[in-house]
Structure 1
Amino acid sequence: MSGNYYKGNEVSCCIKYFIFGFNILFWLLGMALVAIGLWAWSEKGVLSNISSITDLGGLDPVWLFMVVGGIMFILGFAGCIGALRENTFLLKFFSVFLGIIFFLELTTGILAFVFKDWIKDQLNLFINNNIRAYRDDIDLQNLIDFTQEYWDCCGAFGADDWNLNIYFNCTDGNPSREKCGVPFSCCTKDPAEDVINTQCGYDIRARPDSEQKDYINVKGCVPQFEKWLQDNLTLVAGIFIGVALLQIFGICLAQNLVSDIEAVRASWVPPPLSMHRPPPQSSKKASAYYS
């Protein structure tokens, strides 16, 4: 503001550069996640055939990288540039966007508690859809194997859920060698084995139920996930509370910085009219000028 001056108010440098430093990390991390997602799609040939994104019947784990990375990139950009350039529009966008995410998280938590049975049914449907697409995508396959190994489970509610997959079902017309079997991630772990036996689940469901439990985990992933939540309720609650407090803290800091910026802008006032008047010329200079 040329020719103007301010009085009194200043922008807090601590808040400004704290928001800048914190969000630049989010910005870079979000950019990295998006780059990883694009690289994964490039390796799978998705970028050369965009229509194949919708071909997968289950969840493509790359979407997690793209969505989470995209949100982090947008938030980081708005917070970082908004703080550095003292741009109130970007800072308000950052606050509103962060507030919307917080509201969605809170709403999801409440609905999940109130409609537990519905959530369980949807989780069952989600897992079964991914079981059907187990061999269609290597990333999905690795995700399912990791889940079943981590929670010592098999299928949504039991090993028989693998009948939904064309390679593992027990129908007479199934020519697959994996017929009536389960993935190796369903097998019970043998500490003495250093190398994973990927064929440990072959033909296992053709045996009586009493024998199956000696070789595979017969419990489903949905009840195992519920048990894990109950056993780690304090940890899960602590994580959610910590994330919520961090979001509220970010909103408060951004709003505080916006208030400081607007206060500084409001304190800029035009100089007095006397500052615009030319200095009076002495009589000698004036007479010399007119002579």
Structure 2
Amino acid sequence: MFVLGFAGCIGALRENTFLLKFFSVFLGLIFFLELTAGVLAFIFKDWIKDQLNFFINNNVKAYRDDIDLQNLIDFAQEYWSCCGAHGPNDWNLNIYFNCTDSNPSRERCGVPFSCCVKDPAEDVLNTQCGYDVRLKLELEQQSFIHTKGCAGQFEKWVQDNLIVVSGTFVGVALLQIFGICLAQNLVSDINAVKANW
């Protein structure tokens, strides 16, 4: 992106047709790659859904290994009011949260605090609210934690915000087409001025 932006900016400032053509061609290439990705995403949406589940489950396994990943998972679970990929039992994949008898962790049979249903009366975040919650019956769990999976909640969010998501993609595409047109127009203007010499 830096090279592309540099080529477009310097090409326009110095009226360099080679850099402007480079900018146009690569911006057009990026546009067609995005268009292809969008069409393929629509055609292979079931495969993408499977990959999303695989991605979430792998990240659940590595929850305590990377603080940035941990913060990302916590944000997603809080934002979409969800827990795990398909539900709270996905946390059995994590060595700290699994329910095996050999697990010595205090978080055994629990979930991260981001799965917990927030009490509006609490000012301080209770980071231990998910401890031992999966030992309770499933119906009891619903009053303590979110029981819906994040994959389903994300899919629902995309469907609910389809106009915003598609509008963003169309807006970016129009900006790219506008940039290509402006660059080509400047190239033709430069060539017309050079022809008058």
Q: Same fold (TM over 0.5)?
A: yes
| Aligned equivalent of 1:256 | 185
CA–CA distance in 2 between the matches of 1:201 and 1:143?
18
1:118 aligns with 2:47: yes
Instruction: State the TM-score, normalizing by the size of structure 2.
Output: 0.95
Instruction: For 1:1-291, list aligned pairs within 5 A.
Output: 71=1, 73-268=2-197
Instruction: State the TM-score, normalizing by the size of structure 1.
Output: 0.65
What amino acid is aligned across from residue 91 of structure 2 in structure 1?
A: W
What is the percent sequence identity of the aligned residues? Answer: 80
| Aligned-residue offset at 1:121 | 0.2
CA–CA distance in 2 between the matches of 1:107 and 1:163?
37
CA–CA distance in 2 between the matches of 1:109 and 1:156?
24
CA–CA distance in 1 between the matches of 2:150 and 2:172?
26
CA–CA distance in 2 between the matches of 1:254 and 1:96?
10
CA–CA distance in 2 between the matches of 1:147 and 1:221?
8
| Aligned-residue offset at 1:196 | 1.0
What amino acid is aligned across from residue 131 of structure 2 in structure 1?
A: Y
CA–CA distance in 2 between the matches of 1:130 and 1:93?
39
Deviations 1:223-250 (A, max 9, x none): 1111111111111111111111111101
What amino acid is aligned across from residue 44 of structure 2 in structure 1?
A: F
| Aligned-residue offset at 1:186 | 0.6
CA–CA distance in 2 between the matches of 1:118 and 1:175?
37
CA–CA distance in 2 between the matches of 1:266 and 1:239?
41
Larger Rg: 1
Q: Unmatched 5+ residue regions in structure 1?
A: 1-70, 269-291
CA–CA distance in 1 between the matches of 2:41 and 2:51?
11
Q: Unmatched 5+ residue regions in structure 2?
A: none
Cα RMSD after superposing both structures: 1.2
Q: Secondary structure at the match of 2:105?
A: coil
CA–CA distance in 2 between the matches of 1:179 and 1:92?
60
CA–CA distance in 2 between the matches of 1:250 and 1:173?
60
Superposition misfits of 4+ residues, deviation over 4 angstroms: none
